[in-house]
Structure 1
Amino acid sequence: MSQKKTAFAKLIGTLHLWLGLASGLVVIILGLTGAIYVFTDEIKPLVYKDRLFIQPENKPKLPLSHLLAVAQKAVGETRPVTRVEISAQPDRTYIFRALKVDKEGFSHWDYYKYYTRAYVNPYNGKVVKLEDSKNEFFTIILSLHMRMLFGEKIGHTIVSYSVLAFVLILISGLVLWWPARWNKSGTDKSFKIKWNAKWKRVNYDLHNVLGFYACIILFVCAVTGLVWAFDWVEKGVKTVADGGKLAEVPAVFSDTTQNKDANAVDRVFAALQKGQPRAYGYLINFPAKGKLPINASTYLTAGNRYDRIQGQYDQFTGAQLRSRSFDELSNGEKAYAMNFDLHVGAWAGLPSKILTFFAGLICASLPVTGFVIWWGRRKKEGKGGRGRKGGRRMVVARKTSVGGMVEPGYAPMSARLSEEEK
């Protein structure tokens, strides 16, 4: 190996090590919480039957405006309801949400000023469950994943830069993983776990081999996370998808000269149902005040979030201002619309979710196995093992160019450890 290549390998190894040590704890938490969150939509119906399901009745459902008023009364008039999730299935409750955050808050509990969900029976208008969502399990999991249970300023920053470091860790890890020789011996070490070896070798293989197999999925999860973490990444992805020039979409606004009509939400919901009577569900966001429109999404399938129709409606009259399907979006908008499904592994349904789940577990294991590798080497060096500088290198024999004489040479640390840990 040339001196130039050795210096490059050392630089990559040092980068991989210190970025891993700096972000390891956060990466463990992100991997575990991400693995759990992948199957949120599948787990909730199993553990929240009492609030999600009702007995369907042979009569029309009550108007959305009436159910909204019921939910508003339940959560309190000082906490405006800003969203409703509506399933097209006849045995599901309507889920109304009142949410207010304080981006200056220090912790998760300071960040959420209040977060309440009201589960309402659409047939009789009764509140099935009033949930303190701030302390709900999946909210805690998501807050851990997004902010480490801190507020926006501290938690978001910690997670954002840890994910950025993780992208560099994945790239440097792939460089370090790359087999020196693509023969059977070289590829076996890179693609197979030697389960019958000593535990140090098994730990090394768990880090090296599993890291490689999960690398692509983890890279996609990390980059899609960066899209939410940094505005420059989001803008960059959209610009690249749009062919180098970011497509601008003009905003639409409600007509503030009109009087507020309490039945406007009913007209919006009726338009959504008429437009897509076989939709899987609907999500309607109510603006708190001002001239912003009602934003409504019609989800066409259960398996993903991107396949939807996004519409804006006048909050005073319920008139449609704009409506676009996924196919009608610009390429940059499509890329952003698919970001969530790529991040949680929903892009190919259940198979991709399963792969993402296991990738999340592997992600959580990598800092642990990597730390064990580093700690073992550190202990050997600290004891002044073989070679120079406390055992960093191993003495080997190599021939000189003069008379076939043999003089000491030095093998890199990785070569020595791979032999010892077999």
Structure 2
Amino acid sequence: MKKNNLKKTIRQIHLWLGLSTGLVVFIVAITGCLWVFKTEIESFYSDFKTVNPINKEYITASKVKEIASKENPNRTVHGVVFGQPDEAIEIIYYEAEPELFYQSLFLNPYSGEVIQQIDNMGGFFGFILKGHVRLWLPEAVGSIIVTYSVLLFFVLIITGLILWWPKKSKNLRQRIKFDWNNKTRWKRKNFDLHTVVGFYTSALAIILTFTGCVMAFGWFYYITYKALGGDKNPRFLMPNNEQIISNVDTDELRDILIPTLKKEYKNARNFELHFPENDSTSILVEVCNSDGLHYDMDYLYFDQHTLKELKPNSIYSKYKNANFADKVVRMNYDIHIGAIGGIVGKIIAFIASLLCASLPITGFLLWWGRKYK
């Protein structure tokens, strides 16, 4: 195939992929840049999550479970978060079937008093999340449209870079800057907005798209982990207890677990306790070591009958035991929202996502201007 014909084919692929996925990419990018600062924005109106600290021990895990069952009977407790002395205990309810139930109940950690219950899928950020992952459509339809549109956007970035590359090196300067004057027409300005912005955004767009695909596709996640040299099971696995002892008070054992871990992990941000689903399942405690980050969490598993620590053959274990591939995959979400770089990283992710949202608009206007002169 001749070079000109090849580039013409690439241009057609870029055009039709852009027209077919443009609206989806715009919605995903706009909702994504809003999601980046969720924690920071919520901190302005979530004062119910804080309490006055007193010199007293927290209520026990058994007491928390009792309150959780009383407040929301027949609902599954996904986990309980024990935070800092001035933070309320958060009980997380989560059920995917038959209908999504994802709510949090906040308690005073010293008295057990119920402070407030919130719907994690409600409010502004619940609305934003639904748009980001499924376009506010039913899960079965919307999630498929989003995931495959994101995958096609990856192809769009590559084809866009090929089309961006000028035929002559002397024209390169024109492709990397806005060279406008009073006589520059809007079509030229729009062309520059699409190509110049697209070029400078491409590297970050690839990162956002790639990390999105890792979360969206199981096969993409698995291939990425193995390509990085991973040798463990990349899935989240709960090890079973080593033995079942019928005469042991498992509630009493579980009640001493969080106080014990607090002494061992003195700098931990919080501890999320997951109750065993049955007699065979171990206890999981997620130890959060950094504010706003997930990748460096320690995942600890304990035999519920003896509190003996169990070692899983999974990337979700103690962070110090993670190899390069484990760390990169565990960083995926933090990279996706820019949290890996702190507030500066979030600002970069926000700007990159916002610029990505502009590309379908300028691309559509570019096509419209050529088709309807």
TM-score (norm 2): 0.90
Query: How far, CA to CA, are the matches of 1:334 and 1:9 in structure 2?
Result: 39
Equivalence map 1:187-226=2 (5 Å): 187-192=173-178, 194=180, 196=182, 197-226=184-213
1:321 alignment partner, one of 297, 305, 310: 310
Structure 2 partner of 1:71: 68
Note the C-alpha offset of 1:195. 6.8
Note the C-alpha offset of 1:149. 2.5
Structure 2 partner of 1:136: 123
Helix, strand or coil at the partner of 1:361: helix
Query: How far, CA to CA, are the matches of 2:175 and 2:199 in structure 1?
Result: 12
Matched, 1:98 2:93: yes
User: Does structure 2 retain, via aligned residues, the 8 Å contact 1:296–1:311?
Assistant: yes
1:39 alignment partner, one of 37, 40, 64: 37
Note the C-alpha offset of 1:122. 0.5
2:79 alignment partner, one of 78, 83, 102: 83
* Structure exhibiting the larger radius of gyration computed from Cα positions: 1
Note the C-alpha offset of 1:167. 0.3
Query: How far, CA to CA, are the matches of 2:157 and 2:261 in structure 1?
Result: 43
Give the root-mean-square deviation of aligned CA atoms. 2.3
Structure 2 CA distance for partners of 1:128 and 1:14, relative to 1, 3 Å = same
Equivalence map 1:231-310=2 (5 Å): 231-242=218-229, 246-248=231-233, 252-255=239-242, 257-259=244-246, 261-289=250-278, 291-310=280-299
Structure 2 partner of 1:21: 19
Matched, 1:174 2:167: no
Matched, 1:354 2:347: yes
Helix, strand or coil at the partner of 1:130: strand
Which moved further from structure 2: 303-312 or 254-263?
A: 254-263
Bigger RCO (CA 8 Å, 6+ sep):
2
Helix, strand or coil at the partner of 1:301: coil
Structure 2 CA distance for partners of 1:158 and 1:289, relative to 1, 3 Å = farther
User: Does structure 1 retain, via aligned residues, the 8 Å contact 2:30–2:353?
Assistant: yes
Structure 2 CA distance for partners of 1:256 and 1:238, relative to 1, 3 Å = same
Structure 2 partner of 1:9: 7
Matched, 1:57 2:44: no
Gaps of 5+ in 1: 106-110, 381-422
Helix, strand or coil at the partner of 1:54: coil
Query: How far, CA to CA, are the matches of 1:154 and 1:38 in structure 2?
Result: 25
Note the C-alpha offset of 1:317. 4.6
User: Does structure 2 retain, via aligned residues, the 8 Å contact 1:82–1:99?
Assistant: yes
Percent of paired sites with the same residue:
33
Query: How far, CA to CA, are the matches of 1:237 and 1:194 in structure 2?
Result: 42
User: Does structure 2 retain, via aligned residues, the 8 Å contact 1:252–1:321?
Assistant: yes
The C-alpha deviation readout for 1:17-63, integer Å capped at 9, x for no partner, is 111111111111111111111111211111222x2222222333222
Query: How far, CA to CA, are the matches of 1:148 and 1:42 in structure 2?
Result: 24
Give the length in aligned residue pairs: 364
